[in-house]
Amino acid sequence: MNEICQLTIHELRRRVVEKELSACEVSRNFLDRIEEVDQHTRAFLAVEAEQLLKDAAQLDKEIASGRLKEGLLTGVPLAIKDTIVIQGVRTTCGSRILENYLPPYDATAIQRLKAQGALFLGKTNCDEFAMGSSTENSAYFPTSNPWDLEAVPGGSSGGSAAAVAAWEAPGALGSETGGSIRQPAAFCGVVGLKPTYGRVSRFGLVAFASSLDQLGPLARTVDDTALLLQALAGPDDRDSTCSVQPADDYLGGIDEDVKGLRVGLPTEWFGSGLDSQIEERLREAIQRLEGLGCEMVEVSLPHTEYAIAIYYIVAPAEASSNLARYDGVRYGHRSSHHEDLDTMFKYTRSEGFGAEVKRRIMVGTYVLSSGYYDAYFLKASKVRTLLKNDYLRAFEQVDLLFGPTTPSLPFKIGEKTSDPLQMYLSDVYTAPANLAGIPGLALPCGYSKEGLPISLQLQAPHFEEAKLLRLAHALEQELAVERPPLPFDVS
């Protein structure tokens, strides 16, 4: 097994900056690893080897000349979810409708990573327009869970999570609307962070549901996750919903003591429906937290039971509006057999979108239509406020919240495709944070008896990512989960 691919982002950067490794060597090692295992995981939609090696060579030249201003991510190649645009690199969002779309600009997140010296391995697979929890809704192919190739990696950022878990990338970007970073991170045994709404610019993140969308990092350690957030976070003039509040120092205090922190256990998160093996690991983690000097406090988030219902009204409503732009006029697929403008729109969208996207557009259009708007969209928006208020009240009593990331272990490919409602329930513990706008982090906390990853979740008040990362880091060190080798690495 390739030793370089097992290094952390921190360590890769250090070796490149101290000239122990060249950026080209690092990149080549990851490309080799992808070549070797992506046939199993199918995490990548496209690997950009040529551009990567060109950029790495350029970086090495600058390092050799001594003129390089060291960045937070110098020489580190990352995987990028295909919902985030990179100039000149095909961005499909896992959809046929964008099969040939070449973005003319970089997302702010990409610009920031570039400015810190990061390189890009390629674009990772995802559910079409990020709608899904298994990556099976990709118009191209499903991705496999590296721990069980017959299981899903979660979604929609399944490709990013699988790539990081399978050592194909040291870190990745994902995006979330209702759980799409945290849930695949959980299923693949990696760390995933959904920052506060507005903490990271959404400029260049293809819109799904604009009041919920947020992009964020996936990595194998909390430290690396903090490093990526440090590069990404901060105000951006090109996204008016991005907060003007400057980014905090996420790395500086990450080692600090967590003694005395009050950690809330929402009663609603530990009821029926939670897999017993997951619950068992969480109980162990709670003891560890107590051992670290945290005070565990029971709290209540009484509107939790409405979260999925609210989410599946608000998200499709916003999606139906955001996806109106794919009409065959400006970019993307255009149907070749149409008679007039109306049929051009109709055939283009019928051919270009998959079943789940069409379902969301129909639901979204329905809940926004006159006569139904008050009963559905407006009502959901009001209950959303109640849910957010639950959180605000809980955070008057505690610093952070602790619970599961997912109700179940990774399920098999095909197991839930015929039952959208079952699939939607994958997000019961994640979607509330998107609705409330608060940050959440998925942390690996062990493996099931079948060898599948188990994850716990921490949530924090708005813009408290530094505290969130600090507790996650302390717990990660305390749990010291031992990572078994991947099935395809055992020969």
x/- string (CB under 6 A) for ligand GLN, residues 384-403?
A: --------------------
Which one of the spans 170-178, 236-244, 257-265, 401-409 is the region binding ligand GLN (CB under 6 A)? 170-178
Minimum CB distance to ligand GLN, residue 134 (Å): 8
Minimum CB distance to ligand GLN, residue 251 (Å): 27
Residue 178 binds ligand GLN (CB under 6 A): yes
**For residues 5 and 229, which CB has a smaller minimum distance to ligand GLN in the complex?**
229
Minimum CB distance to ligand GLN, residue 8 (Å): 26
Residue 288 vs residues 159, 260, 418, 456, 482: alpha-carbon distances, Å = 32, 14, 40, 13, 16
Q: In this chain, which of 124, 125, 177, 457 binds ligand GLN, going by CB under 6 A? A: 177
Contacts of 190 (CB under 8 A, 6+ apart): 161, 164, 165, 218, 219, 220, 442, 444
Task: Quote the tokens at residue 103.
Answer: 């973005």
Residue 133 binds ligand GLN (CB under 6 A): yes
Q: Can you say whether the dihedral through the CA atoms of 289, 290, 293, 295 is positive or negative?
A: positive
**For residues 12 and 130, which CB has a smaller minimum distance to ligand GLN in the complex?**
130
Of all residues in the shown chain, the one whose CB is closest to ligand GLN is 180
Distance between CA 77 and CA 381 in Å, rounded? 40
156: annotated active-site residue? yes
Burial call 395-406: b when 16+ CB within 10 Å, e when fewer: beebbbbbbbbb
DSSP state of 338: -
Residue 48 binds ligand GLN (CB under 6 A): no
Site for ligand GLN in 304-363 (CB under 6 A): 315
Minimum CB distance to ligand GLN, residue 363 (Å): 11
**For residues 156 and 320, which CB has a smaller minimum distance to ligand GLN in the complex?**
156
**For residues 201 and 406, which CB has a smaller minimum distance to ligand GLN in the complex?**
406
Residue 453 binds ligand GLN (CB under 6 A): no
95: annotated active-site residue? no
Residue 41 binds ligand GLN (CB under 6 A): no
160: annotated active-site residue? no
The count of residues in the chain is: 491
**For residues 8 and 365, which CB has a smaller minimum distance to ligand GLN in the complex?**
365
Instruction: Give the helix/strand (H/E) hosting 33.
Output: helix 23-41
Q: In this chain, which of 55, 176, 223, 390 binds ligand GLN, going by CB under 6 A? A: 176
Q: In this chain, which of 131, 166, 191, 445 binds ligand GLN, going by CB under 6 A? A: 131
Residue 132 binds ligand GLN (CB under 6 A): yes
Minimum CB distance to ligand GLN, residue 261 (Å): 28
Picking from 223, 246, 238, 165, the residue whose alpha carbon sits closest to that of residue 8 is: 223
Residues 241 and 198: beta-carbon distance below 8 Å: yes
Q: Which residue is catalytic, options 156, 175, 320, 408?
A: 156
Q: Which amino acid is at 466?
A: A
DSSP state of 97: G
Which one of the spans 117-125, 178-186, 389-397, 456-464 is the region binding ligand GLN (CB under 6 A)? 178-186
Task: Quote the tokens at residue 143.
Answer: 């991705």
Contacts of 261 (CB under 8 A, 6+ apart): 293, 294, 295, 399, 400, 467, 471
Q: Which amino acid is at 350?
A: S
Distance between CA 150 and CA 378 in Å, rounded? 41
Minimum CB distance to ligand GLN, residue 44 (Å): 19
Residues 95 and 139: beta-carbon distance below 8 Å: yes
Residues 43 and 78: beta-carbon distance below 8 Å: no
Task: Quote the tokens at residue 227.
Answer: 């490093």
Q: Which residue is catalytic, options 22, 81, 123, 455?
A: 81
Q: Which residue is catalytic, options 180, 243, 320, 455?
A: 180
DSSP codes joined into one string, 207-244: PS-TTT-EEEEEESSHHHHHHHHHHHBS--TT-TTS--
Which one of the spans 85-93, 102-110, 130-138, 347-355 is the region binding ligand GLN (CB under 6 A)? 130-138
Minimum CB distance to ligand GLN, residue 398 (Å): 25
Minimum CB distance to ligand GLN, residue 434 (Å): 7
x/- string (CB under 6 A) for ligand GLN, residues 196-235?
A: ------------x---------------------------
Please give the positions annotated as active site.
81, 156, 180
Where along the sequence are the contacts to ligand GLN (CB under 6 A)? 130-133, 156, 176-180, 208, 315, 427
